[in-house]
């Protein structure tokens, strides 16, 4: 009888590996039925990791997005799963135990079946509590081993780790090859050892395509007994993301495995729709280089999931480093040259920092340390002098036990700074905090939400939730989007080329604003008391109902029309500048309550 291999669509990770943001709730609602119609997926990654944080960052409620996406998939018999960073849960830094525990109750209630629990240090102390909490909440606990390639991370290391996780109650095991640098043969050895001893344990493989091993790795793990393989789909497959389902399905079928058919009509519709999301706004945060594979990643081991943020960081530092080099009379570096230097520095310092698996947040810490070293080098400063508290937290053991040994010079720097190393359970350092959030929500009059989901979101992403509730997040996102649109219009590489009128831009910045109109033809005169020396209209000024806002003058400077505030409001944008000629019924400005 043929061995069946199931496919999981990594829809969340496809976006995170490409850029910064993920589709909106309305877009997820549109794509879900098409994913179902494709007929080849038994699982879909719907949320977790950075996804819910970036929902907040562009002003959308992540709880509603998760419920919207999971509901149709589960009704169709497709299992949903999320990415869970263990001690860090859904964010970059450690989370109190009571908030972690609440997460599983909330996510199960929202329709998430499986939680993929990982720790970048592969410290079981950060994974085991989540296994127990997830199972108690009714979720499937998929314990995850972060795969990398080093002298520390051998096949024997992973086989022993899997045994520990299964003994602690893991119902499934995932091999998370986040950088795609796991060697195919070694991965096959690991999977075979797990399946021979635990044939009933489901094994799932997640491999990024970046350095090019992923397709071979998928074949090897399938031959070794793997049950589920994560795949992507165009237009976001390949590059530094994941191999496409079409290729992997054809390869496995030819190798004698039982795999489901793909409804190609639905695939093409999902492909078209995903591209439309890119064209809508998501593409403005996608670096074109993320669509390219790179063998340079074989040495550095950096994951595909962070390439979007890495390229943004590199661009920000590029001009600074070049200015320093120019001041010293040295040759400036191209962006590609700086990228190679960064990869080389990551490869050099990675073992010095204890060889953590390069996955969130530890990939960011090591990358940041390498980038700061390049900056230090450009000003003739000693390396490792600009590491922030988060980096030191990893080094000192506050996130868990490092897999390898620290270099003596790192230990010496820590001693010089008076830092102490920590060896106990990391969770002890982060005491319960839910009571504080409950109290503040009550004081603010904020609803804790269905199944306490708003309480959870506030406690998990405190800063982003405050900015979401105040409207600051949406305002900042809209400004960033507008800047990227203008960059694209001016020939930059900020995203898909479009033509936007002033009204289009106003709609992006202030989607809830209402127009005020001129009643006659003439010259527009804005509120003279608040016009500055540049004759700019009084943006942000608050008006009471009935207050004079602007007027229209005829020849001879006689006012023949006055525009007053229809309700208490403030001016957020103008379509007609001070002193320009307007026609009857022209929109002259925009107001909001």
What is the rounded average pLDDT of the residues 170-185? 96
pLDDT of residue 297: 83
**Residue 182 domain-assigned (yes or no):** yes
Compute and round to an integer the Cα radius of gyration of the chain: 27
Of 161, 106, 175, 82, residue with least CA distance to 128: 161
Cis peptide bond N-terminal to 235, omega within 30: yes
Of 476, 497, 477, residue with least CA distance to 486: 497
Whole-number Å distance between alpha carbons of 74 and 66: 12
Q: Which residues contact 220 (CB under 8 A, 6 or more apart)?
A: 184, 185, 187, 188, 191
Residue 315 has pLDDT above 50, yes or no: yes
pLDDT of residue 294: 84
Confidence of residue 304 (pLDDT cuts 50, 70, 90): low
Residue 308 has pLDDT above 80, yes or no: no
Domain match, 226 and 158 both: yes
Domain match, 185 and 276 both: yes
Residue 404 has pLDDT above 50, yes or no: yes
**Residue 298 domain-assigned (yes or no):** no
Domain match, 236 and 101 both: yes
**Residue 544 domain-assigned (yes or no):** yes
Of 451, 444, 452, 436, residue with least CA distance to 469: 444
pLDDT of residue 540: 65
At 415-438, the pLDDT tens digits run 999 999 999 999 999 999 999 999
At 437-482, the pLDDT tens digits run 999 999 999 999 999 999 999 999 999 999 999 888 988 898 888 8
Whole-number Å distance between alpha carbons of 270 and 233: 9
What is the rounded average pLDDT of the residues 167-192? 97
Domain match, 314 and 248 both: no
Domain match, 27 and 115 both: yes
Domain match, 215 and 140 both: yes
Distances (CA, A) of 404 to 127, 303, 351, 355: 19, 19, 7, 5
Confidence of residue 352 (pLDDT cuts 50, 70, 90): very high
pLDDT of residue 50: 85
Domain match, 334 and 255 both: no
**Residue 489 domain-assigned (yes or no):** no
**Residue 448 domain-assigned (yes or no):** no
Domain match, 275 and 387 both: no
**Residue 296 domain-assigned (yes or no):** no
From 291, 323, 352, give the residue that closes a domain: 291
Q: Which residues contact 196 (CB under 8 A, 6 or more apart)?
A: 225
Among 82-86, 291-295, 534-538, the range scoring the smallest mean pLDDT is 534-538
**Residue 89 domain-assigned (yes or no):** yes
Domain match, 282 and 310 both: no
- Tell me the CATH number at 192: 3.20.20.70
Residue 273, CB half-sphere, CA atoms under 13 Å: how many?
19
Domain match, 234 and 146 both: yes
3 state SS of 569: strand
Whole-number Å distance between alpha carbons of 515 and 588: 7
pLDDT of residue 62: 96
What is the rounded average pLDDT of the residues 333-355? 92
Among 177-186, 254-263, 277-286, 442-451, the range scoring the smallest mean pLDDT is 277-286
- Tell me the CATH number at 531: 2.40.50.100
Average pLDDT, the chain: 91
Q: Domain of 570?
A: 512-592
From 428, 461, 477, give the residue that closes a domain: 428
From 377, 407, 428, give the residue that closes a domain: 428
Cis peptide bond N-terminal to 234, omega within 30: no
Structural domain count of the chain: 3
**Residue 433 domain-assigned (yes or no):** no
pLDDT of residue 271: 97
Whole-number Å distance between alpha carbons of 540 and 551: 18
What is the rounded average pLDDT of the residues 13-17? 91
Domain match, 119 and 200 both: yes
3-class secondary structure for 302-353? CCHHHHHHHHHHHHHHHHHHHHHHHHCCCCCCCHHHHHHHHHHHHHHHCCCE
Residue 84 has pLDDT above 80, yes or no: yes
Whole-number Å distance between alpha carbons of 93 and 280: 31
Q: Which residues contact 187 (CB under 8 A, 6 or more apart)?
A: 147, 175, 177, 205, 217, 220, 221, 224
Residue with tokens 């191209």: 334
Domain match, 234 and 313 both: no
CB–CB of 76/69 below 8 Å?
no
Confidence of residue 295 (pLDDT cuts 50, 70, 90): confident
pLDDT of residue 533: 42
Cβ neighbours around 510 below 10 Å, total: 17
What is the rounded average pLDDT of the residues 574-580? 83
Whole-number Å distance between alpha carbons of 383 and 412: 13
Q: How far, rounded to the nearest angstrom, does the alpha carbon of residue 406 sit from its chain's CA centroid?
A: 29
């Amino acid at each position: 009888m043929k061995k069946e291999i199931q496919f999981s669509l990594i829809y969340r990770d496809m976006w995170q590996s490409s850029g910064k943001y993920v589709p909106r709730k309305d877009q997820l609602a549109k794509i879900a039925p098409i994913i179902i119609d494709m007929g080849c997926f038994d699982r879909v990654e719907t949320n977790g990791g950075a996804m819910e944080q970036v929902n907040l960052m562009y002003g959308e409620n992540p709880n509603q997005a998760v419920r919207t996406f999971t509901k149709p998939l589960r009704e169709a018999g497709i299992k949903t799963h999320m990415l869970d960073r263990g001690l860090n849960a859904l964010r970059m830094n450690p989370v109190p135990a009571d908030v972690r525990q609440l997460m599983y109750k909330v996510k199960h209630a929202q329709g998430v079946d499986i939680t993929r629990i990982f720790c970048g240090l592969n410290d079981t102390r950060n994974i085991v509590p989540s296994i127990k909490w997830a199972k108690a909440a009714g979720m499937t606990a998929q314990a995850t081993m972060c795969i990398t390639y080093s002298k520390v991370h051998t096949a024997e290391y992973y086989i022993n780790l899997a045994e520990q996780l299964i003994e602690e109650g893991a119902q499934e095991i995932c091999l998370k090859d986040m950088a795609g640098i796991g060697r195919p043969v070694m991965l096959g050895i690991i999977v075979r050892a797990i399946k021979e001893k635990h044939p009933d344990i489901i094994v799932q493989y997640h491999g990024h395509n970046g350095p090019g091993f992923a397709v071979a790795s998928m074949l090897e793990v399938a031959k070794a007994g793997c049950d589920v393989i994560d795949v992507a789909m165009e237009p976001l497959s390949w590059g530094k993301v994941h191999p496409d389902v079409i290729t992997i399905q054809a390869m496995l079928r030819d190798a004698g495995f039982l795999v489901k058919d793909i409804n190609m009509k639905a695939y093409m519709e999902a492909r078209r729709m995903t591209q439309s999301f890119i064209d809508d706004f998501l593409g403005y945060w996608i670096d074109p280089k993320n669509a390219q594979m790179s063998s340079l990643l074989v040495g550095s081991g950096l994951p595909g999931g962070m390439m979007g943020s890495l390229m943004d960081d590199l661009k920000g530092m590029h001009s600074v480093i070049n200015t320093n080099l120019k001041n010293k009379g040295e040759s400036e570096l191209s962006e590609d040259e700086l990228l190679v230097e960064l990869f080389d520095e990551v490869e050099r310092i990675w073992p010095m920092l204890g060889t953590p698996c390069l996955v969130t947040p530890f990939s960011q810490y090591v990358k940041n340390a390498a980038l700061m070293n390049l900056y230090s080098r450009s000003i003739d400063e000693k390396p490792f002098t600009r590491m922030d508290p988060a980096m030191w937290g990893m080094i000192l053991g506050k996130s868990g036990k490092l897999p390898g040994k620290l270099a003596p010079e790192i230990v010496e720097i820590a001693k010089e700074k008076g830092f102490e190393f920590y060896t106990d359970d990391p969770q002890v350092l982060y005491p319960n905090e839910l009571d504080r959030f409950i109290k503040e929500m009550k004081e603010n009059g904020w609803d804790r939400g269905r199944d306490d989901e708003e309480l959870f979101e506030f406690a998990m992403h405190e800063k982003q939730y405050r900015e979401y509730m105040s409207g600051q997040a949406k305002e900042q996102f809209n400004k960033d989007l507008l800047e990227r649109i203008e960059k694209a219009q001016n020939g930059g590489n900020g995203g898909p080329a479009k033509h936007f009128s002033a009204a289009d831009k106003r709609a992006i910045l202030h989607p809830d604003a209402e127009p005020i109109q001129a009643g006659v033809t003439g010259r527009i005169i804005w509120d003279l008391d608040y016009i500055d020396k540049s004759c700019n209209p009084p943006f942000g000024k608050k008006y009471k109902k009935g207050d004079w806002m602007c007027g229209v003058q005829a020849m001879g400077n006689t006012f023949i029309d006055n525009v007053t505030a229809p309700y208490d409001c403030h001016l957020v944008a103008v379509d007609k500048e001070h002193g320009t000629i307007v026609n009857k019924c022209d929109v002259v400005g925009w107001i909001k309550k």
